[in-house]
Structure 1
Amino acid sequence: MAGKFELYKDKAGEFRFRLKAGNGENVGASEGYKQKGSAENGIESVKKNASDENRFEVFEGNGGKWRFNLKASNGQVILSSQGYASESGAKAGTEAVGRAADGAKTDDQT
């Protein structure tokens, strides 16, 4: 089920986006961008790369939580996850990104 991208401006004035699953749950968030167009390009990059499991890096982060990053073909991180209790949970999260990004519209909240 397609999710949606929420494009917004943070308190520091940077543009960010988050990907929400069809059920409304957050499945990933971007870094901050100075330009709105750069954030929009990031959204397009997530759409392009989300179906390629080789673009995901699953790792154990600080505090024992498992996380993943989605990387573009140039190696730049374009989407990062929340913390998961297990590696299998983080891997399931990567699959949720693929499902949510496929056909997702952008809700521009800027």
Structure 2
Amino acid sequence: MRVVTVKAIAKELHERGHYLDELYQITIAYATSLHTRYCAVEVKCEAIEQYYRDEVDLDKYSWEEDDKWIQLDEERSDIEDEMQDLFNTVIGFDYEIDPFKK
């Protein structure tokens, strides 16, 4: 699965007339937070994979059976899904309604 990027979300918001308004700022802050979490999880997964390549007999054991790697991989998938949901929400907003005005 291809991960939705913060840049893609920013582009969609900008194309819909939201450039540095409240919706843009909040959405990009949230997307950036998700991206940061994703990068941290990715680094941890890669470290586990590298450990298995360097220190463990891959014919007998695989990092894909490591409990911590499984947990991190699930978290990584959850973040990917959340980024996709955020992107889908952005492109599906009713832009005639300003959610910040009463």
TM class by shorter chain equals: under 0.3
Higher RCO by CA contacts (8 Å cutoff, separation 6 or greater): 2
TM-score for both structures, normalised by structure 1 = 0.26
Greater percentage in strand: 1
TM-score, length-normalised on structure 2?
Answer: 0.27
Larger Rg: 2
Higher helix share: 2
